[in-house]
Structure 1
Amino acid sequence: MEGGLGLKAALEALLFVAGRPVKVEELRGIFPGVTEEELRQALRELSQEYQGRGLRIREVAGGFRMETAPEVAEPVRAFLKPRPRKLSRAALETLAVVAYHQPVTRAEIERLRGVDSSGALKVLLEEKLIRIVGRKAVPGRPLLYGTTAKFLEVFGLRSLEDLPPLEEIRKLAEGA
């Protein structure tokens, strides 16, 4: 094996990145010089080495899978938290308007989009991608919306300055 780590290290890495049960037959295609019994033995040894740890290797659904141990489920669940649901086109359009024009009112968003945006705003608030940042100093004092730190995190941005130029977005939209 190249790199000198050996079969078990390679199997460990494959199970780690697979995120699903990997069948021994599949592994034989990756390690053509290794017999099925050698693969099974290495997987059994790995499984033993993971006893009493936060991860374990189990045989499930006809293959082997790396998974978290049930004993650490609570802290893992707390760390992962539910991911934001997939956003509709309306929600994404609304989010883009907020991101590029913040702080912005619902009426301003609707003027730019040309449609009612109350449903999309509700979803974005629930997902904590936007927040109410204040009220506009005009009659009626409408709410102002802005993006959150979670917005930056979800879209992999360090700051709002990392957003692509609005002109670039317009060109992409016209080409779609």
Structure 2
Amino acid sequence: MTVDLFSEPTDARAPALDLERSLEAILMVTDEPQSLVSLATSLGAPVPAVRQSIERLVADYDGVDGGVRRGFELREVGGGWRIYVRGEFDEVVRDFVLTQNPTRLSQAALETLAVIAYKQPISRGAIASIRAVNVDSVVRTLLGRGLITEAYTDSETGAIHYATTDTLLSQLGINSLDDLPLLSPLLADGSEGFDDVR
């Protein structure tokens, strides 16, 4: 069965409320902004219906028509939509993450943080390529801890590029990224081959 993404919605296929709840569920777990076409394709819904549902969600989260203004917002960034903490709550969230949730970073988080520190600004896809594993949850953790930040969004691909923050420098006790140790002395020189290098 094919879905016409550009036709008007029919009540039998995608009731507005179900579509909005489905969009919320997807947007809660995504790390990258999602285009209307991508959302429509994943839900098998027409683009106009998705656009209208997104507009209703934005208004709902903003407290339009007397509703409660939420601590998060649905924002269009780089040609796609994503849920963000409202700017006025950034400090509250940062303080919570840094003071109330001071658990140690996992090995995966430390490795991902090292890749970002040495290769920044770098996209999530490039990090995953270097580490050869999915890094979605690790990047979320590092963002939540304030150790990395979204440096910019590529206007062509919509990919977010990440960079380290001053918080990381403070945690490492260094003044700048120039103070990071050189990697070259730690790498094998190849004189004995690379078969055993893991």
| TM-score with structure 2 setting the length | 0.43
Greater helix fraction, Structure 1 or Structure 2: 1
- Bigger relative contact order (CA 8 A; separation at least 6): 2
Larger radius of gyration: 1
| TM-score with structure 1 setting the length | 0.49
